[in-house]
Structure 1
């Protein structure tokens, strides 16, 4: 149903994780309200957890607003305090890799808003990998010539 009025407190938390220290609880608010082009997600990052590997998007713009608590925001490896009331926008293809680490003793709750683009490529500089969204596959980032053959 489109144009659906919702009460965010009625939206359940879903748990997402990769590895033991990477994960968060998420409320997919936009999906629940019928959003098609823009994602709106409330995330809760527990103490000691990391939101994701440092990354940036080539086609998607991300807006992040801190609602409650505090975490360390890493921008190209440099730490910054990101606490309640702070906001940042990551424009598409900015090349600024980012991640959150909750080094506090309380949950960090933040809102993520961004456009959805099926042709987005997510770049992970820490691991030298890329996620090709349209294929939902991760590859090693190895620039090569068009005619180079992969070694078997």
Structure 2
């Protein structure tokens, strides 16, 4: 059995920024403008979970307000003071704080309402068959063969 290639440790900032800013279909992708992701887990060939070093410019948001059906998520704030927005309220986060989102839990996302950059780690598993739901938008997502497929809530596809 061939062992996977192991890459040496590197500075996380040296991993290239993801070339496609968003996987959301139009018109939703524009809402995460100002978000940059460095896919650390993919860089190292991780298969079971993903880790991103994510940066939010002033005014940017991490994602649409969402929840996952099967995937657990966690964030750890490295720099800046983003607002964690959930269906039931908001909380200002500081460096060193973390938050976890169990599958099927409350919908959530981060918003950078400050004038400085926010940097954080986001960690999520890659459970097959995961679905994303968006309580404020006509959008649903299904993880198929490792890729997100987006549809309207009535099942029709976005062009």
Pick the TM interval, shorter chain. 0.7 to 0.9
Q: Which runs of 5+ in 2 are unaligned?
A: 23-28
Q: Which runs of 5+ in 1 are unaligned?
A: 144-152
Deviates more, 1:10-19 or 1:102-111: 10-19
Aligned residue for 1:70, secondary structure, equals: coil
Q: Which has the larger radius of gyration?
A: 1
The aligned residue for residue 6 of structure 1 is: 9
> Structure 1 or 2: larger strand share?
1
The aligned residue for residue 59 of structure 2 is: 48
Aligned residue for 2:129, secondary structure, equals: coil
Contact 1:71 1:81 in 2 (8 A): yes
The aligned residue for residue 120 of structure 1 is: 130
* CA–CA distance in structure 1, aligned partners of residues 125 and 44 of structure 2: 15
**Offset of 1:114 from its aligned partner?**
1.2
The answer to whether the aligner puts 1:65 opposite 2:68 as a matched pair is no
The 4+ residue runs of structure 1 with deviation greater than 6 A are: none
Aligned residue for 1:138, secondary structure, equals: strand
TM-score by length of 2: 0.80
Q: For 1:2-151, what aligned pairs fall within 5 Å after superposition?
A: 2-7=5-10, 8-14=12-18, 16-17=21-22, 18-19=29-30, 21-23=31-33, 24-76=35-87, 78-94=89-105, 96-134=106-144, 136-142=148-154
Q: Deviation digits for residues 44-86 of structure 1, max 9, x if unmatched?
A: 0000111111000001100100000011110115221012111
C-alpha RMSD over aligned residues: 1.9
* CA–CA distance in structure 1, aligned partners of residues 126 and 96 of structure 2: 25
Aligned residue for 1:14, secondary structure, equals: coil
* CA–CA distance in structure 1, aligned partners of residues 101 and 150 of structure 2: 21
Contact 1:64 1:112 in 2 (8 A): yes
